[in-house]
Amino acid sequence: MTIEFPSSGRTTGTGTLAFLATTDAEALIARCPAVARLLPEMVSALGRQTATAPGLLFDLAPLSDDERLLLSEILGEGEVAATVALPDGVVAEITESIFAGLWRVRFLGPDNRIVADYAEVSAVPQAIRRAAAMTLPHLDLDALPSGVMNAPAVLAEIANRAERYQFGEPNHVISLTLLPMLPEDLDILVDRLGSGPVKIISRGYGSCRVQATAIHNVWSVQFLNAMDAILLDTLEIGDVPAAAQAAVEDFRDSAVRLREIGEAYFQ
């Protein structure tokens, strides 16, 4: 299955600090008092957020163009990016900032116009969870063709695990790479699982592509080498895969680093 994934531009923390040290940044900061007020609120949110709590949102629509530009320079682009297809042609573009657990989320209408723009402190942005929840509740196991080897057993395992999954349980992982699968088996899996509305790329520890399937609680997770060749092809049954989530330690570390920037450049 060929999937077009979002890119992750990755502006590093060093790049952010280099920008803030320029005279242009100094002048921009002076014109952006709203950003100076916003940063401590984000630090507070990062300091109290947990892995399972709902996201804490910061509406960026009231900011001026200069203020959004400055905030974008501060947040940069981190290791994870996602696109989410929503009803009525709306697409959510999501980028984790260089502060893990702090995300930039923009909703674009069918005309590519921005209809919402906010920052979110969460393990996984709400747009991803809500879109994944709109997938099909059951996997079709009827009329599987003959001439295949392991696809029927794998599909039965997926269906059983997906229907029994309870939020908070560990994900169940099926490694397609390690199973003896015929090309026909893989074709049937692609056909029955389909493609869902969420596509995520993570470049934290090597590249990882995460795709929601059309079946609730079922995700395709592929680990890639430097040449983007697949090293490990898996299915995860359960919550949004850990490769795309921020952890509690990420929130706390990000709170410390963002506080340091606020104290150094906005006070």
Instruction: State pLDDT tens for residues 153-201.
Output: 999 999 999 999 999 999 999 999 999 999 999 999 999 999 999 999 9
Q: How high is the pLDDT of residue 203? A: 87
Asked if the structure places residue 257 within a domain, the reply is yes
CA-CA distance, 244 to 124, in Å (whole number)?
A: 7
Asked if the structure places residue 4 within a domain, the reply is no
Is the predicted pLDDT of residue 105 greater than 60, yes or no?
A: yes
CATH number for the domain including 141?
Answer: 3.30.1370.140
- The answer to whether 137 and 144 have CB atoms below 8 angstroms apart is no
pLDDT category of residue 8 using cuts at 50, 70 and 90: very low
Look at the chain and report how many structural domains it folds into. 2
- Token duo for residue 5: 């994934």
pLDDT category of residue 13 using cuts at 50, 70 and 90: low
Asked if the structure places residue 3 within a domain, the reply is no
Asked if the structure places residue 199 within a domain, the reply is yes
pTM for the structure as a whole = 0.89
Is the predicted pLDDT of residue 1 greater than 60, yes or no?
A: no
Statement to judge: residues 220 and 251 lie in one domain: no
pLDDT category of residue 147 using cuts at 50, 70 and 90: confident
Domain that holds residue 172: 132-244
pLDDT in tens, 33-55: 999 999 999 999 999 999 999 99
Statement to judge: residues 240 and 251 lie in one domain: no
Statement to judge: residues 17 and 76 lie in one domain: yes
pLDDT category of residue 9 using cuts at 50, 70 and 90: very low
In this predicted model, which residue has the larger pLDDT, 240 or 11? 240
pLDDT category of residue 149 using cuts at 50, 70 and 90: confident
CA-CA distance, 233 to 223, in Å (whole number)?
A: 7
Q: How high is the pLDDT of residue 15? A: 75
**Arithmetic mean of pLDDT over the chain:** 91
SS (H, E, C) 20-52: HCCHHHHHHHHCCHHHHHHHHHHHHHHHHCCCC
pLDDT in tens, 203-232: 866 789 999 999 999 999 999 988 888 999
Asked if the structure places residue 139 within a domain, the reply is yes
SS3 16: helix
Statement to judge: residues 141 and 240 lie in one domain: yes
Asked if the structure places residue 229 within a domain, the reply is yes
